[in-house]
Amino acid sequence: VRAVTIQDGRLVVADRPDPDPGSEELLVRVAAAGVNGADLFQLMGAYPAPPGSPADIPGLELAGEVVAVGYGVRRFRPGDRVMSLVGGGGQAELAVVHERVAMPVPEQLGWPQAGGFAEVVTTAHDALFTQCGLGLGDRLLVQGAAGGIGTVAVQLAAAAGARVVASVRNRDHHAAVAALGAERVVEPADAAAAGPFDVILELVGAPNLPADLEALAIGGRVVVIGVPAGARADLDLRRLMAARGRVLASHLRSRSLEEKADAARRVEAQALPLVAAGRLRVPVAATFPLEAAREAYDRFAAGGKLGKLVLVTGSG
Ligand SMILES: NC(=O)c1ccc[n+]([C@@H]2O[C@H](COP(=O)([O-])OP(=O)(O)OC[C@H]3O[C@@H](n4cnc5c(N)ncnc54)[C@H](OP(=O)(O)O)[C@@H]3O)[C@@H](O)[C@H]2O)c1
């Protein structure tokens, strides 16, 4: 099977043995697989795959057709379209997926959107609703809203009746992010002044934290999900006390099978109906053939995109 592989710190598309599904696993002919920041960190040697996942094939999410199932599989059968988180190994023509983490692909989603769905929708849904309890009328700030997670978070929050302010540094994307459901799209420097906020989804990192605390409403929550701009901050905790606020952080990849299955069921119940209703989509900025994975990674590293970059195979 053709796969994107990491060899001595370089990205090489190479042949690998076909993976074998275990008793509760699906063998999936991958049609599309999203690119994520984690793949770039893994390439740099800074983010090894968790135990049980292929060590040298990156890719945290995929979509494709089930071609074989383990003897204990109950939820899917060959021919089904599925999309899923994986601990690694998604960027290959074949991958194995645990049936409890897999989700059916709604008919409204084409392969590129489905291949870029699982990681960002699960992360955004988990952070906003499971971690922070975002609800009707809550004021949300999404910091770094033009990327994969941000574009989905804006839509999920708007669909849940929250009032969304989005910070986006690339002015070219302001109108597109507003069209996803943000009441206001602001420059990063203007984000705090647009508060107070009940919830702040922090996708940019530590440099924003002092302003996040300034902008926190009483009882507000900051949830840190990504730190591309840096991980160390100097904070005035008196401000956090005054707001009776909370700073949370979360991480998806290292979770147990049970925790990932739980997150997937929540996404199935709450986000997939929004897809069917035409209220949630995954903006795909560009697709690349598997063989052009290096260009896709370079493009991801360059930034400036709206939404996701997705690798597609011959079946995508
Ligand atoms: N905790 C978890 O479980 C988890 C799961 C998935 C992803 N993540 C992390 O979460 C972050 C967001 O993921 P994503 O998929 O949405 O990534 P993405 O598509 O690269 O989006 C990141 C967004 O943040 C903006 N940004 C980056 N650095 C910035 C800076 N210094 N100032 C202002 N804006 C900045 C980017 O703008 P430009 O395009 O202009 O650079 C982009 O719009 C990443 O760091 C990723 O590694 C965490």
Q: Concatenate the DSSP letters of all residues of 101-163 into one string.
A: T-EEPPTT--HHHHHTTHHHHHHHHIIIIIIT---TT-EEEEETTTBHHHHHHHHHHHHTT-E
Which residue CA neighbors atom 10 of ligand 1 most closely? 226
Q: What is the distance in A from the centroid of ligand 1 to the CA of 203?
A: 5
Helix (H, G, I), strand (E, B) or coil at 82: strand
What is the structure's pLDDT at 13? 96
DSSP label at residue 89: -
Tokens of 58: 């990156």
Alpha helices in the chain (DSSP H): 37-43, 111-115, 118-125, 148-159, 174-179, 209-214, 237-242, 257-270, 272-276, 293-302
What is the structure's pLDDT at 316? 63
CB 174 within 8 A of CB 121: no
Give the pocket of ligand 1 (CB within 6 Å). 36-38, 119-120, 123, 144, 146-150, 169-170, 188, 203-204, 225-226, 228-229, 250-252, 303-305
What is the structure's pLDDT at 298? 97
What is the structure's pLDDT at 56? 94
Q: What is the distance in A from the centroid of ligand 1 to the CA of 257?
A: 25
Single-letter residue type at 65: E
Atom of ligand 1 nearest to the CA of 306: 43
Residues lower than pLDDT 50 in the chain: none
How many Cα atoms sit within 13 Å of 152 on the Cβ side? 28
Atom of ligand 1 nearest to the CA of 146: 43
Which of 204, 253, 298 to mutate for ligand 1's pocket (most ligand atoms within 8 Å of CB)?
204
Encode pLDDT of 200-240 as tens digits: 999 999 999 999 999 999 999 999 999 999 999 999 999 99
Q: How far apart are CA 305 and CA 137, in angstroms?
A: 29
Which of 42, 61, 149 to mutate for ligand 1's pocket (most ligand atoms within 8 Å of CB)?
149
What is the structure's pLDDT at 49? 87
What is the structure's pLDDT at 48? 87
Secondary element (H or E) of residue 11:
strand 10-15
Which residue CA neighbors atom 13 of ligand 1 most closely? 149
Q: What is the distance in A from the centroid of ligand 1 to the CA of 303?
A: 9
Atom of ligand 1 nearest to the CA of 224: 1
Q: What is the distance in A from the centroid of ligand 1 to the CA of 65?
A: 29
Strand bridging mode 284-289 / 246-249: unpaired
Q: How far apart are CA 289 and CA 275, in angstroms?
A: 25
Q: What is the distance in A from the centroid of ligand 1 to the CA of 147?
A: 6
End-to-end Cα spacing for the chain? 15
Which of 41, 125, 169 to mutate for ligand 1's pocket (most ligand atoms within 8 Å of CB)?
169
Q: What is the distance in A from the centroid of ligand 1 to the CA of 149?
A: 7
What is the structure's pLDDT at 127? 98
Secondary element (H or E) of residue 4:
strand 2-7
Closest to 11 measured CA to CA, from 303, 298, 220: 298
What is the structure's pLDDT at 17? 94
What is the structure's pLDDT at 52? 85
CA 306 to chain centre: 13
Instruction: Give the list of residues 6+ apart from residue 313 with CB closer than 8 angstroms, or none.
Output: 2, 29, 30, 31, 32, 33, 64, 93, 289, 290
Which residue CA neighbors atom 25 of ligand 1 most closely? 144
Q: How far apart are CA 13 and CA 292, in angstroms?
A: 8
DSSP label at residue 17: P
Q: Kindly tell me the burial class for residue 272, based on how many C-beta atoms sit within 10 Å of its own C-beta (0-12, 13-18, 19 or more).
A: buried
Encode pLDDT of 20-66 as tens digits: 999 999 999 999 999 999 999 999 998 888 888 898 999 999 999 99
Single-letter residue type at 300: F
CB 59 within 8 A of CB 92: yes
Atom of ligand 1 nearest to the CA of 303: 39
Closest to 62 measured CA to CA, from 90, 81, 39, 42: 90
Q: What is the distance in A from the centroid of ligand 1 to the CA of 17?
A: 33
What is the structure's pLDDT at 46? 87
Which residue CA neighbors atom 31 of ligand 1 most closely? 229
Atom of ligand 1 nearest to the CA of 126: 3
